[in-house]
Amino acid sequence: MASSEILRPWHELPPGVVDVLRPELPGVAREIIDAVRVEVPPYARGLTGPFGRGLVAGVEQALRQFVDGIEAGGRMPRARVYVDLGRGEMRAGRSLDTLLSAYRVGARVAWRRFAALGAEAGLPPATLFELAESIFVYIDELSAKSAEGYALEQSAAAGERSARRQRLVRLLVRDPPADPIDVEDVAREAEWRLPETVAVLALPEEERARVVPRLPADAIVEQVGEVVVAIVPDPLRSDRRQQLDRAVGVRHHAALGPAVSWRDAALSLARARAVLALVAEGTIEPRGVVRAEDHAAALLLRSDRRLAQELVRARLAPLEALPDSTRARLTETLGAWLEAQGRLQVVAERLHVHPQTARYRLGQLRELFGPSLEEPSARFELELALRAEGLL
């Protein structure tokens, strides 16, 4: 006999108990069902349909198996019906507590009837005590099997819902866009509310295990090509920025596209992907949530690489003939001057040089670039050229 079976108290019951209990099982089953209908509110309207029939059959089978187990020396009861009852509760949308309450009612009614039958038959008190313990241990085992079934059904439902939500992500970011009716149908099946606005968070695959479990609960996630894509609903909500910043942290990175209508989610993904590309190129620091809205100029330049390079060659041509060290020094000075809007003291502080040194370098730049440094449009194009090269 296995050690787990030794612990079952009905092993110690004398076989004669069976002769006392078996003839009364149909009546005990009816009494249990009646008590369940009265005492467990979700079952008050009657146990009809497949689940109701299954519960009635489960009560009858549980009583038979209990008595058979006593007679056979304590064999483990067949569990399929109780696993199925747990699954049925999950499918019906009820808490597992409802079924477990019914089990407790059944155990109480069975014990009351069995105790009365045992006393009438002259069973000794020690046997009645063992019978009581056996009933409640047996019900615990049935409850555990139903809990297993409930968990299995939960897992299956969660897996199915997850698959539908993954499909929804793919539909939302499809380019050209999917039919809105198809999107709405899949969103309904996936139990996901289509919000007014969404933003796409894109992250490298190696960041998935760290970031995805920490995302807001209403975000939906799927692998799309080479990146992991999270659709974040209501991105302009006041707490969203903090939620995403906490999820990604400062030692990891992800790119957030702009807030758009869910019908334009593909555009938000395109922007987020472009930001990731800038991170990969070293143009943007890979730190935390990198928002596309903060790098509009860099994204604009990246959208037409050929034109950006033409701009670089045209506007930075005066620096080309210089020695490398001189070119690097003056390029840095030019960037600082443009960012400081010509304020000499600020330029010197940013470069960590004496103002006189900064003035000397600016004099060199004016010799190289001539009057264009004083033209707003030329300064704007110079700044774009430096950004295109990742120098600003």
Residue 10's pLDDT is 73
State the residue for tokens 């139903």.
146
Domain termination residue (choose one: 252, 273, 302): 302
Assigned domain for 149 exists: yes
Assigned domain for 164 exists: no
Domain termination residue (choose one: 302, 323, 339): 302
Same structural domain, 99 and 228: no
pLDDT tens for 136-177 read: 888 888 888 888 888 888 777 778 888 899 999 999 999 888
Nearest to 87 by CA among 155, 159, 162: 155
Same structural domain, 13 and 144: yes
Q: Residue 297 maps to which CATH number?
A: 3.30.70
Kindly tell me if the per-residue pLDDT of 2 is higher than 60: no
Residue 206 CB: number of other CB atoms within 10 A? Answer: 9
| Number of domains present in the structure of the chain | 3
Contact 202, 273 (CB under 8 A): yes
Provide DSSP, 306-372.
HHHHHHHHHHSGGGTTS-HHHHHHHHHHHHHHHHTTT-HHHHHHHHTS-HHHHHHHHHHHHHHHGGG
Assigned domain for 223 exists: yes
In percent, the amount of the chain with pLDDT more than 70 equals 94
pLDDT tens for 176-229 read: 889 999 999 999 999 999 999 999 999 999 999 899 999 999 999 999 989 999
Assigned domain for 234 exists: yes
Report the pLDDT averaged over residues 78-93: 79
Cα separation, 361 vs 341, in Å, equals 16
Query: Which of 57-61, 116-120, 348-352 shows the lowest per-residue confidence on average (mean pLDDT)?
Result: 57-61
Same structural domain, 19 and 149: yes
Q: Residue 131 maps to which CATH number?
A: 1.10.490
Q: Residue 376 maps to which CATH number?
A: 1.10.10.2840
Same structural domain, 229 and 325: no
Contact 78, 65 (CB under 8 A): yes
Residue 49's pLDDT is 66
Residue 75's pLDDT is 60
Assigned domain for 14 exists: yes
Residue 5's pLDDT is 45
Same structural domain, 255 and 285: yes
Contact 111, 134 (CB under 8 A): no
Angle at 373 between CA 372 and CA 377, to 5 degrees: 70
Cα separation, 80 vs 85, in Å, equals 9
CA distances, 212 to each of 165, 234, 248, 262 (Å): 14, 18, 9, 20
Same structural domain, 52 and 137: yes
pLDDT tens for 236-291 read: 999 999 999 999 998 899 999 999 999 999 999 999 999 999 898 887 888 899 99
What's the whole-number average pLDDT of the chain?
86
Same structural domain, 369 and 382: yes
pLDDT tens for 43-52 read: 776 566 666 6
In three-state secondary structure terms, 232 is: strand
Same structural domain, 139 and 17: yes
Considering the entire predicted model, what is its pTM?
Answer: 0.56
Nearest to 208 by CA among 166, 254, 257: 254
Domain extent for 101: 3-157
Cα separation, 240 vs 235, in Å, equals 6
